[in-house]
């Protein structure tokens, strides 16, 4: 994606410097800064604190991290395994994290050199970003179909940030939106702010603003009213893990949007690369839900005098619970937008996976 006339991916690796770089998503939208990740501690910290976040982006980071671990541990498989185990436990819901680590780790043996490990990590990253690009080219047809029917601006609601920051490039839920804008299909995006970390109002809005796509930020509770008032034509969200029965884990609040969409017969789409599917799990009941520090609810970050400051919203001895994701049952999902096409049910993908 282009920012300040330069083409960026949200995370990238430099073979010569033996470093990983990422856009620091904690600083956006007020500051655009690049973070340098030199070792596993830096990488863990960046993933834990959400400097780098979004399912495909943390998968790509994990792939690069295994390459770095191979370099610093001189190919010692036991030490790399320790790093691998630490990495995959950082965020439990997004399966992409493990998929990225596995893709590189599984190729390591005593005959492989560090440059070949790097190539393997780059291959994973490119596959993910190409998948996102294709999600855009398939998904745009759903937006076009609505526009062709009404001949009006298509109002699309999205939750959290599933744009290029979250994916290395292009995005999942936002990829069809970027593509629609490129093809001059008139659109307007309702952006859920996505409490408590505001990935919607900070990151999705920043991406849309950068692309000059019309949008409005709304509080997380506004979607129901908008749907009732016929102001939402479709909903597109991303996913952190999809079980074999089609149940979807995504940012907390996604489920409530799906319920409201079903009540108002508004199409609800999930956009995700195949790497987000976990066919080893029967249903959403088996997907681990990440619980994050309650401090994220108890305090709020705001930008004041060129600085991020933290303010308390309620006393720290009040109990609060911070579930980061919820499960949307498959029955509320109209279709899945993937790099292989748009699927009403995922049996075809499952068959292909096991054949």
- Point out which residues bind ligand MRU (CB under 6 A): 53-56, 94, 160, 162, 166-167, 172, 199, 238-240, 250-251, 324
Other CB atoms within 10 A of residue 110 CB: 6
Distance CA 217, CA 291 (A): 25
Query: Closer to ligand MRU at the Cβ: 120 or 159?
Result: 159
Integer-rounded Cα Rg, in Å, for the chain is 20
Shortest reach from residue 263's CB to ligand MRU, in Å: 22
Catalytic residues, which ones?
Answer: 240
**Residue number of the CB atom closest to ligand MRU:** 238
DSSP β-ladder status, 248-251 and 241-243: antiparallel
> Quick one: DSSP state of residue 274?
G
Distance CA 355, CA 353 (A): 6
Distance CA 225, CA 244 (A): 32
Query: Closer to ligand MRU at the Cβ: 241 or 244?
Result: 241
Shortest reach from residue 141's CB to ligand MRU, in Å: 20
Shortest reach from residue 167's CB to ligand MRU, in Å: 5
Distance CA 70, CA 87 (A): 14
Shortest reach from residue 161's CB to ligand MRU, in Å: 6
Query: Closer to ligand MRU at the Cβ: 13 or 160?
Result: 160
Burial letters for 4-35: b for 16+ Cβ neighbours within 10 Å, e otherwise? eeeebbbbbbeeeeebbbbbbbbbbbeeeeeb
Query: Closer to ligand MRU at the Cβ: 80 or 97?
Result: 97
Q: Which residues pair with 216 in a beta bridge?
A: 190
Query: What is the SS3 assignment for 55?
Result: helix
Query: Closer to ligand MRU at the Cβ: 79 or 300?
Result: 300
Query: Closer to ligand MRU at the Cβ: 8 or 118?
Result: 8
**Residue 46 phi, psi dihedral angles, 5° rounding:** -65, -40
DSSP β-ladder status, 268-271 and 335-338: parallel
Shortest reach from residue 166's CB to ligand MRU, in Å: 3
Shortest reach from residue 110's CB to ligand MRU, in Å: 35
- The 3 state secondary structure assigned to 303-326 is EECCEEEEEECCCCCCCCCEECEE
Shortest reach from residue 251's CB to ligand MRU, in Å: 3
DSSP β-ladder status, 34-37 and 19-23: antiparallel
How would you class 265 by CB atoms within 10 Å of its CB: exposed for 0-12, middle for 13-18, buried for 19 or more? exposed
Distance CA 74, CA 71 (A): 5
Residue 170: closest CA among 197, 135, 139: 135
Query: Closer to ligand MRU at the Cβ: 94 or 129?
Result: 94
* H helix or E strand, kind and range, residue 144: helix 114-150
């Amino acid at each position: 994606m282009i920012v300040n006339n330069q083409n960026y991916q949200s995370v990238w690796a430099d073979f010569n410097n033996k470093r990983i770089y990422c856009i620091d998503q904690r600083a956006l939208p007020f500051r655009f800064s690049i973070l340098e990740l030199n070792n596993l501690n830096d990488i863990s910290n960046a993933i834990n604190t959400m400097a780098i976040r979004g399912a495909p982006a943390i998968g790509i980071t994990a792939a690069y991290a295994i390459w770095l671990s191979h370099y610093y541990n001189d190919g010692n498989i036991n030490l790399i395994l320790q790093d691998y185990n630490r990495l995959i436990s950082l965020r439990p819901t997004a399966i992409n994290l493990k998929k990225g680590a596995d893709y590189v780790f599984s190729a390591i043996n005593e005959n492989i050199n560090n440059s070949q490990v790097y190539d393997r990590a780059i291959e994973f990253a490119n596959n993910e970003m190409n998948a996102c690009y294709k999600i855009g080219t398939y998904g745009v047809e759903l937006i076009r179909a609505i526009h062709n029917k009404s001949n009006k601006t298509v109002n699309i609601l999205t939750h959290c940030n599933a744009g290029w920051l979250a994916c290395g490039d292009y995005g999942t839920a936002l990829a069809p939106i970027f593509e629609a804008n490129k093809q001059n299909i008139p659109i307007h995006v309702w952006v859920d702010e996505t409490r408590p970390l505001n990935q919607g109002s900070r990151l999705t809005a920043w991406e849309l603003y950068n692309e000059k796509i019309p949008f409005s930020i709304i509080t997380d509770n506004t979607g129901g009213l908008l749907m009732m008032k016929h102001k939402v034509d479709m909903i597109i969200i991303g996913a952190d893990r999809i079980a074999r029965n089609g149940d979807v884990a995504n940012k907390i609040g996604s489920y409530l949007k799906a319920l409201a969409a079903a009540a108002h017969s508004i199409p609800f789409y999930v956009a995700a690369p195949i790497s987000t599917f976990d066919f080893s799990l029967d249903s959403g009941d088996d997907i681990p839900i990440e619980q994050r520090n309650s401090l994220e609810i108890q305090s709020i970050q705001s930008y004041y005098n060129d600085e991020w400051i933290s303010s308390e919203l309620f006393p720290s001895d009040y109990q609060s619970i911070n579930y980061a994701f919820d499960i949307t049952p498959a029955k509320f999902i109209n279709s899945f937008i993937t790099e292989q096409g748009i699927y009403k049910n995922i049996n075809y993908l499952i068959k292909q996976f096991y054949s």
